[in-house]
Amino acid sequence: MKKDLKNAKTKLAKEIDNLSDEMREIANSIFDNPETCYTENFAASLLTSKLKERGFAVESPYLGLSTAFIAKNAKIIKSKPIIAILAEYDALPGIGHACGHNLIAASAFGAAVALKNVLHPELGNVVTIGTPAEEGGGGKIKMIRRGAFSDIDAAIMIHPSNKTRIISRMYAITELKFTFIGKAAHAAAFPEQGINALDAGVLCYNSISSLRQQIRGNSRVHGIFTYGGDAPNIIPDRIEMHYFVRDLDKKHSEELLKRIKQCAKGAAKATGCKVKIKTCGNSYDPFYPSYPMGEAFADNLAILGIADGGFSETTEIGSSDIGNLSQVVPTLHPEYAVGDKEDINHSRNFLAAVKTQSGHKAMLEMTKAMAMTVYDLLTNHALLKRTKDNFNQSTH
């Protein structure tokens, strides 16, 4: 490694060590004030005021979203690349910060400040983008549609997890609601006059369960009955079901959706019911990680003496709006362990792990690797070119 680059990376790591207390304070304050989906007022105002104190040019609300923001390290130089560091800070309903987004916010702050202090502004632009409502609200999807990422060359964020892994894939997800409509009748006196919507729902459920034997290993289909009738002596004239359909591949996801819908239509036909099929919630695209960015991140972890954990198995993943972002901009979303392997996101144990000293230390080290990777992207033109070429080849 060239001496200048080595010096810059050493400085970045030192800056982040110096920010450790402030980052812990940010993480803990957001942890103690959990806010869900689009109501992250405390977190957004804490982060934006801290960034303003450090001399960032901050815009918040951003693009009409009251809890989104953008913070620029310096005046944007159009001829230079722009790298985005993403901050999530929403909590889960009920359980709070059991996905550790409070740590994501603190790491974005730490990396942004360290880069502002070390990177010569003429080398390139770093923007920190606050993206609300990852947990079900699809904040990044709205922000993509409103042009938040149209000038961005690459985006990065780090996420606490049960394992450390730089590269992982995530499922595309589509939510479907089925409503079967039949005809109510007295279940004992006039059964022949009824059209049983619950039977249609059960047939639909079983058809999808059978279909599951014939779908790709990279697909997941899971659903529940959300309404199944009012009383055993009334033939149900309406029932409702809610399904998640997931696939690692966007094209296959569309094919799978067609087959799932056929199961519902077939069940309606068999029972004489009608079925309404509605797409609801947010449809998340599959996440395609940037491999060149991942390699740079791995090199930086090696400098810090951390093993990267490699490629994740597809059985251990969910879906996120970062998937949609990865379809429009080269994106990296490394994960890092904050507790035991068994302590998985959204659990009570994970909630506890997020607040530990060891969790904080892991966040600090990964923040260093993130800042170093942003520095690489801005100063190593061959890396940025490789990142863009790989993105153009691997997505549409």
Applying CB under 5 A, the residues found at the interface with Zn ion are 99
What minimum distance in Å lies between the beta carbon of 170 and Zn ion?
Answer: 11
What minimum distance in Å lies between the beta carbon of 107 and Zn ion?
Answer: 13
**Do strands 238-247 and 172-181 pair parallel, antiparallel, or not at all (unpaired)?**
antiparallel
**Do strands 82-87 and 159-161 pair parallel, antiparallel, or not at all (unpaired)?**
unpaired
Q: Which is nearer to Zn ion, 157 or 383 (CB)?
A: 157
Burial group, residue 75, by CB count within 10 angstroms (0-12, 13-18, 19+)? exposed
Determine the distance from the C-alpha atom of residue 294 to the mean position of all C-alpha atoms in its chain, rounded to a whole number: 17
Report whether 179 contacts 226 (CB < 8 A): no
Q: Which is nearer to Zn ion, 133 or 235 (CB)?
A: 133
Helix axes 197-211, 250-271, angle to 10 degrees: 140
Distance from C-alpha of 142 to C-alpha of 63, rounded to nearest angstrom = 9
What minimum distance in Å lies between the beta carbon of 313 and Zn ion?
Answer: 18
What minimum distance in Å lies between the beta carbon of 179 and Zn ion?
Answer: 28
Q: Which residues of 313-326 are buried (b: 16+ CB within 10 A; e: fewer)?
A: eeeebbbbbbbbbb
DSSP secondary structure string for all residues of 125-148: EEEEEE----SSS-HHHHHHHTTT
Encoding tokens for residue 105?
């916010």
What minimum distance in Å lies between the beta carbon of 60 and Zn ion?
Answer: 21
What minimum distance in Å lies between the beta carbon of 117 and Zn ion?
Answer: 28
- What's 237's DSSP letter? S
Distance from C-alpha of 164 to C-alpha of 116, rounded to nearest angstrom = 27
What minimum distance in Å lies between the beta carbon of 278 and Zn ion?
Answer: 25
What minimum distance in Å lies between the beta carbon of 269 and Zn ion?
Answer: 38
What minimum distance in Å lies between the beta carbon of 133 and Zn ion?
Answer: 11
Q: How many residues does the chain have?
A: 396
Report whether 340 contacts 346 (CB < 8 A): no
* Residue recorded with tokens 């039949």: 182
Q: With DSSP H G I counted as helix, E B as strand and the rest as coil, what are the percentages for the chain, rounded to 5? A: 45, 20, 35
**3-class DSSP assignment, residue 29:** helix
Q: Give the residue nearest to Zn ion (CB).
A: 99
What minimum distance in Å lies between the beta carbon of 158 and Zn ion?
Answer: 11
Beta strands in 164-218 (DSSP E): 172-181
Helix axes 20-32, 101-118, angle to 10 degrees: 150
- Helix (H) / strand (E) element for 360: namely helix 357-379
